[in-house]
Structure 1
Amino acid sequence: MSDDAPYYPMTREPSCPFAPAAAVRTMGPVGKVTIWDGSTPWFITRHADQRALLNDARLSIDEKRAGYPHMTPGRAAAAPHIPAVITNTDPPEHTRLRRTVNGPFMVKRVEALRPRIQEIIDSLVDDLLAGPHPTDLVQTIGLPVPTLVITQILGVPYADHKFFQEASHRAISHDADPSDAAAAGRGIGEYLGALLTKKIDEPADDVLSEMGARVEAGEMTFAEAVTMGGAILIAGHETSASMISLGTLALLHNPDQLALLRENSDDPKFVANATEEILRYLTIVHSGIRRIAVEDIELHGTVIRAGDGVVFELAGANYDPAEFPSPDRLDLRRAARQHHAFGYGAHQCLGQSLARVELQVAYGTLYRRIPTLALAVPFEEVEFAMEGVAYGLKSLPVTW
């Protein structure tokens, strides 16, 4: 590693844990970083450049290609054995596979879930208010909300949540030994494989049953369905759980913005816009998104050669002052919908509509129903969890 290629992911400043690391802010539009295996992929931080390149067919998401800049040792070891899914294929194969799972995550179907999500959050808030405090918001609200929702959509028993939350954490952790990550991944696969077999025999109104029907019709393989189910299960609870807790911490740290949200919690348009700004401000996917060049690409006078790895730093784009003036300021009135918190282009997050509704309901409900919500410890003592693909909080002690 050299000064010209700093290690990535970079450590955030303790005094400003929500913003990208200082090194991200000071690098030019095209640089290099060093990742865990010693390789030095290109590093793209600017909003406009990401918009152009994440729609460029000269970049591939095929992680089986030699030189692909994998996020973790575990992912590198597993990549050759992972079936074709939407997270490792380019169009037209990606288009076919995404079509098999897109339906339940379309805006109209997700919006139909809003009343149920509201019921879930209201019930959890009832339990929180009836229980002791201080309490840990991660365990009482953050994790249960998206886990209850995604298990219902996917068709996975919520009673098994401790198993798959623990297994998914091991499977995607930067700190996990590759053999342990592989074992965790196999455990999730075996669990979902058995469940998918049951859904094929006894279908219900859920995503696993829909994929089971596609397997029976020959539209996707059993292995593709299991792998896709695992990706939906992991992504569907991990990121939204982090966003609920981190968003709360950010708002408590910015009391003027929290007061603004509380005052406008009955305005759906304000809450929706505020959610986009919180997504931009936090940018919880802190390991970037990865591609590999399949042709030479010229950018700002630099040539990215075919076979070179590329890392897109989403927080860099979301804190690009050319797109978001005064980016370090949390401003719930800002028009931030063009952020890259969900990525951009053909591989933009499948579950973004669901995440938006979950967060809108959570942010619109929690602080209205608990107007005196406050940190139970000093801000500096809140412990962050940085080992996953997305960062979060190990706990968030709150009182009221």
Structure 2
Amino acid sequence: MSEMLDHEVPSFPMARECPMRPPAEYREIRKQEPVSRVRMPDGQPAWLVANHELARKLLADPRVSSDRRHPAFPGRMTPEQRTAGERVRRLNTRRSMIFLDPPDHGNHRRMLVSEFSLRRIAALRPRVQEIVDRSIDNLLAAPHPADLVEHVSLAVPSLVICELLGVPYEQRDSFHEWARKLVDRTISVQERTAASEAINHLLETLVIEKEQSAATDDLIGRLIARNRETPVLTRDEIVGTAVLLLIAGHQSTANMISLGVVALLENPEQKAQVMADPSLLPSATDEMLRYFSIGENLIARVAAEDIELGGVTIRKDEGIVVSGLAADWDDEVFANPERLDFHRDSRHHIAFGYGMHQCLGQNLARVELEIVFETLFRRLPNLSLAVPADELPYKNDAAIFGIYQVPVNF
């Protein structure tokens, strides 16, 4: 795609004019050139896929690779950001399943798939409810206005992942604080690096302890036992899997809690519908996942062969990025996409990706979101924003869209 360097192309991701809507350019791109050329933050060219049907087709195509070591793999960070965050990035990716291709990807995923089955997540539901209730207790006890992000959005997924992985109770407060620092842009890179190193050390120590003890009834313990029967993962890969689950599950769910609460507060009619009929919660949750599609530039691939897509030839060894936000606002698939509609069937959104790399933890994320939304508004019916929604500090500078703080009154 060297010809792309000879003329100016749009930068990706594009800036939102309104935090509750995609960049205005996406509609035009989707209509006129749904597979188009863009420049990534690292300065390299890539193909952008902005159409829902073409996005799903591309993500299901075996001719694309997820190997981030490929020189054409689309880069999400500027060279300066990459240099500053190199240590954190290296620790947090290790040999991560999400960057593997078949057959390694399938071998790794099979070791985990039973941990996120509907049956397993249903069994975890009462514990998630306890964690949500305790987090809301802490919110109620905080001075007004209280920060929803600190007390609920970050706390719930952090404590749930601790429960899932089997982190000892006496270490969970430290674990939660380190996880919070990983996404805190008000602290230095050095502090975030120290938090990342602490989490990696904790999880590596935990894996070693569980390897040397009797089998424990938690994800890491069962993964170790499964791996003894059918060796697939090295110890470093088991630790990397635990880190992946923390980063992927914690950050995404935390941001969706904050955005979902703000969306409900800004759309009182839809909030009233959900509170009157809790059976709407699953469809409401999927609709909000579609509406925000927070992993704007996380779905990246490299063509392993020439691919014809949408009338365009993507050549072998060219980078590709799929905009979930553009695809999930495709008005040929979701009528009036700018309107939150909790009666809409939004389950075919790609907020969790699509194809072989579709998010393994989506069932857990849905349960956490449903329980938080139902419990928060049931217990705090007078919950309100302490500042206007358009004055909240949105994460326009982050790979995963969200809000840094959400001050609330109740």
Q: What is the TM-score of this pair, normalised by structure 1?
A: 0.90
Query: Are 1:393 and 2:397 an aligned pair?
Result: no
**Deviations 1:151-189, CA, capped at 9 Å, x for gaps:** 11012231223453145337xx8x997x98877655433
Which of 85, 99, 110 lines up with 1:99 in the alignment? 110
> Within 5 Å, which residues of 2 pair with 1:8-47?
8-13=12-17, 16-27=18-29, 28-47=33-52
SS in 2 for 1:112: helix
Aligned counterparts of 2:218 and 2:342: Cα–Cα separation in 1: 35
Q: Contact conserved, 2:66 with 2:98, CA < 8 A, in 1?
A: yes
Aligned counterparts of 2:258 and 2:7: Cα–Cα separation in 1: 34
Q: Contact conserved, 2:67 with 2:99, CA < 8 A, in 1?
A: yes
Q: Contact conserved, 2:284 with 2:342, CA < 8 A, in 1?
A: yes
Q: Which residue of 1 aligns with 2:346?
A: 336
Q: Contact conserved, 1:342 with 1:349, CA < 8 A, in 2?
A: yes
**Deviations 1:341-362, CA, capped at 9 Å, x for gaps:** 1011110011100000011111
Pick closer, same or farther for the CA change 1:188–1:128 going to 2, 3 Å.
closer
Shift of 1:127: 3.5
SS in 2 for 1:346: helix
Q: Contact conserved, 1:215 with 1:225, CA < 8 A, in 2?
A: no
Query: Are 1:208 and 2:214 an aligned pair?
Result: no
Query: Are 1:365 and 2:367 an aligned pair?
Result: no
After superposing the two structures, state which structure 1 stretch, 41-50 or 331-340, moved more.
331-340
Which of 146, 149, 161 lines up with 2:157 in the alignment? 146
Q: Show structure 1 runs of 5+ residues with no match.
A: none
Q: Show structure 2 runs of 5+ residues with no match.
A: none
Aligned counterparts of 1:293 and 1:357: Cα–Cα separation in 2: 35
Which of 199, 203, 207 lines up with 2:210 in the alignment? 199
SS in 2 for 1:290: strand
Q: Contact conserved, 1:62 with 1:90, CA < 8 A, in 2?
A: yes
> Within 5 Å, which residues of 2 pair with 1:1-400?
5-13=9-17, 16-27=18-29, 28-72=33-77, 73=82, 84-156=95-167, 157-166=171-180, 168-169=182-183, 185-202=196-213, 203-217=215-229, 218-265=231-278, 267=279, 270-400=280-410
Q: Contact conserved, 2:154 with 2:180, CA < 8 A, in 1?
A: no
Q: Which amino acid aligns with 1:399?
A: N
Pick closer, same or farther for the CA change 1:112–1:313 going to 2, 3 Å.
same
After superposing the two structures, state which structure 1 stretch, 331-340 or 213-222, moved more.
213-222
**Deviations 1:305-356, CA, capped at 9 Å, x for gaps:** 0000000000011100011010011111111111111011110011100000
Q: Contact conserved, 1:85 with 1:94, CA < 8 A, in 2?
A: no
Q: How many residues align?
A: 391
Pick closer, same or farther for the CA change 1:212–1:197 going to 2, 3 Å.
same
Pick closer, same or farther for the CA change 1:184–1:371 going to 2, 3 Å.
closer
Pick closer, same or farther for the CA change 1:65–1:130 going to 2, 3 Å.
closer
SS in 1 for 2:13: coil
Shift of 1:100: 1.2
Pick closer, same or farther for the CA change 1:24–1:181 going to 2, 3 Å.
farther
What is the aligned-residue RMSD (CA, Å)? 2.6
Aligned counterparts of 1:22 and 1:89: Cα–Cα separation in 2: 34
Pick closer, same or farther for the CA change 1:362–1:108 going to 2, 3 Å.
same
SS in 1 for 2:204: helix
Aligned counterparts of 1:88 and 1:286: Cα–Cα separation in 2: 17
Q: Which amino acid aligns with 2:232?
A: E
Aligned counterparts of 2:209 and 2:92: Cα–Cα separation in 1: 24
